[in-house]
Amino acid sequence: MAITFIFALNWYQEHPNFTEREEDAYIAFKEKRALELQCVRDGVDEGGNVIDLVTKPHAHQDSKATPDPTNGDGARSRYCQGDSEEHVKTEEDVLTQPCSRSSECERQRRCAEGFIFQSPPHRWCNGLVEYNADALRENWRIFAYSCIMTAAVLTMTVGTIFANAMGLLLILVIVSTICCATSFWALPLVIAKANVFGYLAVAADVTVWGPMYSFFVATPECYPEGPHFSFTFYSTIGPIVGNIAGILGVNAFNYLFRMQRYRYVFVLTTFINIFGNIFDIIIVKRWNRAIGIPDHAMYLFGNAVVYDVCYMIAWMPMIVLISRLCPRGSESMVFAIMSGLRTIGQTTAAQIGTVIIEFGWTVPTCDFSNLPMILLVCRILCPLLVIPLVFLVPNARICDDLGIDGQIIRAQMEKKGRPASEENTPNSLDAEQYKHRQSA
């Protein structure tokens, strides 16, 4: 419920797609203009390679989006006129014409700078549905990969309905292999590697929620030594406390790890997540009873509080990395793809746990003698397999701004002799960074 409320507030504050794409085109226009000025300040002549570089269109900006201001007044007047009835013909008219709304004033100011947004999204149903033709044309591989992911999810759904446990696991392995392999074809290399790492990280964290649920809610007749939780406590009180603890985990991550490198954080948070999983073994082995801690208190402190805090701390690095790497103009598609592959990884982890229980250490009804060994293998040992794979993520700090190639923008600026305080300004973009963005 809390997450739904947060998403509702975020949707309320979100700008329409048309406005967002216009803003992207304007930012790209300012970057191009700033680079041209920087090249002039650096003494690069107009016939140099850098000038040839910066006159190319931005990777997420069609060449029609920011045409040469000297190409005539037709396109300029159409953009600058906006919703007003007067026809704006020149930049002098734009500067002197009064505007009745802030959006019109902003459009006129941008037009005076030489910016024209000639490739807006196509609108249907009075703007209710918008179609980014240019974004689709420029990112057709990402769109094709989205279709592959959709087909993968449909295949998993059919397998869940008709296949047995081993058959479903085989389907998941094939689907996951195809999705991981094609990500290197569809996405930039650094994003593809992070995408594969995100899948493997969650797939290695094998889950066995079914036997744990049966253990916690087993009746005294079924399992006399069990905790005998009520459905209300297990399904309501525990998750509420866990959600509150998860919020604390997010804030703790920002306070503790924002200056650390991704690889170090992924290794450390893996061990933190394992520490949170240990409490399951403590309760199942009934060690908490031996030291005088009631089951309800141990569950709330261990499974609801410590586990959720550790889980959120382990989950945050990948979310931050995904948000850093998403290229402008296709953020929603790339973020959805990377999140979708992580979801496939979670399904794979759950199915691996099912196969282990069915063909390895079985858990008969009211007999939980094999559950500690299952938890040791699935929740303690399997997550360690992801540690050798941390080389797939960039060797950068969480606070660093990353380019589309995974390079650290701040490090490039300091190498060029510019102050780090200019990292978010258009003038701080150098020719090498601009070239990387174009080639992505």
pLDDT tens-place string over residues 94-136:
445 555 556 667 777 777 777 777 666 666 676 666 767 776 7
Closest CA to 391 of 235, 263, 260: 263
pLDDT band at residue 311 under the 50/70/90 scheme:
confident
Closest CA to 152 of 168, 170, 169, 172: 172
Across the chain, mean pLDDT equals: 73
Q: Where are the alpha helices (DSSP H) in 82-123?
A: 91-96, 102-112
Phi, psi for 124 (deg, rounded to 5):
-125, 155
Checking if the pLDDT of 196 tops 70, the result is yes
Closest CA to 361 of 351, 376, 371: 371
Report the CATH fold assignment for 140-392. Answer: Growth Hormone; Chain: A; (1.20.1250)
State in Å, rounded, how far the first CA of the chain is from the last one: 39
Contact status, residue 79 vs residue 118, Cβ threshold 8 Å: yes
pLDDT digits (tens, 9 = 90+) for 320-346: 877 777 766 667 777 788 888 888 888
Counting every residue written for the chain, the total comes to: 440
At residue 405, the 3 state secondary structure works out as: coil
Per-residue tokens: 280: 């399951």
Q: What Cα–Cα distance (Å) separates residue 382 from each residue in 56, 200, 201, 298?
A: 48, 11, 10, 24
pTM of the full predicted structure? 0.66
Task: Return the pLDDT at 41.
Answer: 67
Q: Delimit the CATH 1.20.1250 region(s) of the chain.
A: 140-392
Alpha-carbon span 251 to 9, nearest angstrom? 20
Beta bridge partners of 131: 122
Please compute the mean of the pLDDT values over residues 226-233 and round it to a whole number: 84
Task: Return the pLDDT at 128.
Answer: 65
- Give the count of beta carbons closer than 10 Å to the beta carbon of residue 195: 28
Which comes out higher in pLDDT, residue 239 or 423? 239
Task: Return the pLDDT at 65.
Answer: 42
Residue type (1 letter), 404:
I
Alpha-carbon span 212 to 426, nearest angstrom? 53
Greatest Cα-to-Cα distance within the chain, rounded to the nearest angstrom = 87
Task: Return the pLDDT at 404.
Answer: 61
CA-based angle 164:169:175, to the nearest 5? 125
The dihedral sign for the CA sequence 223, 225, 231, 234: negative
